[in-house]
Amino acid sequence: MIFPLFSQQILNEHIFTFRMMEKELTVGTRVSHEKYGEGIVSKNNPLTYKVIFIRGGEIEFSKMGVKFEVVEENPQKEDQTPKINMREVEMMLKYVLDRFNGLHYKVELGKKWDDGIMILQPGNKDLKPKEIPIDTFFHKIVMLRDRLRVLEQNINSHAILSDEEKVNLQQYITRCYGSLTTFNILFDDKEDFFVGAKN
């Protein structure tokens, strides 16, 4: 695992993310959302809030990116403090490390492609084919996949984009993943595969 040096801007954003989580919204708190208007917190999960809106029904929001204006706070009760387990701690830690590009691990090329060459043969036989080492091509594919993932995380945690805009942008990224599934043949581990839209 490699942890890069964080810039001051990234550190500030990182600290702000955790400050947002310091004060929990209790069940029954009246909040205002810029898109859905006023609502009431119906559930306080370790990573999300569920809020019931007059206009939008019950909607679940990630605590990492949501911004509410508190209209009327409901007093904290002991049993309303969300309980968190190790799995959820791991998920939050992974979210932060992924978001700031702090989590890296080696993606393995399929063994059958070791020392292989990719040949691009022009239709005109008089022209020379282009040879590219498969591991070089594979490295570029992995970099593309990782940058798509960072883009996806930045969209999910964006403070200004509406939920609808996030969903629309996510669909384009999913289609990009779908277009790249052809290259799954190069990966050694199925967990590293590109995954497009699921039916």
By the 8 A CB rule, do 89 and 72 touch? no
Residue ranges and CATH numbers for the domains of the chain are 8-83 (2.30.30), 106-192 (no CATH)
Local confidence pLDDT in tens for the 199 residues of the chain = 344 444 445 444 444 443 444 468 888 888 988 888 888 988 888 788 889 887 778 888 888 778 888 888 887 665 555 556 666 666 666 666 666 555 556 788 899 999 999 999 999 989 999 999 999 999 999 889 888 888 888 888 888 888 899 889 989 999 999 999 999 999 988 888 888 877 5
Compute the distance between CA of residue 81 and CA of residue 105 in angstroms, rounded to an integer.
35
- Strands laid side by side in the 57-62 sheet: 57-62, 48-53, 37-44, 30-33, 69-72
Phi first, then psi: what are they for 138, rounded to 5°? -60, -40
Phi first, then psi: what are they for 71, rounded to 5°? -85, -45
54 pairs with which residues across the strands? none
Kindly give, in sequence order, each residue whose CB lies less than 8 Å from that of residue 162, ignoring residues fewer than 6 positions away. 35
pLDDT at 15: 41
Tell me: the pLDDT tens digits for 126-183? 999 999 999 999 999 988 988 888 888 888 888 888 889 988 998 999 999 999 999 9
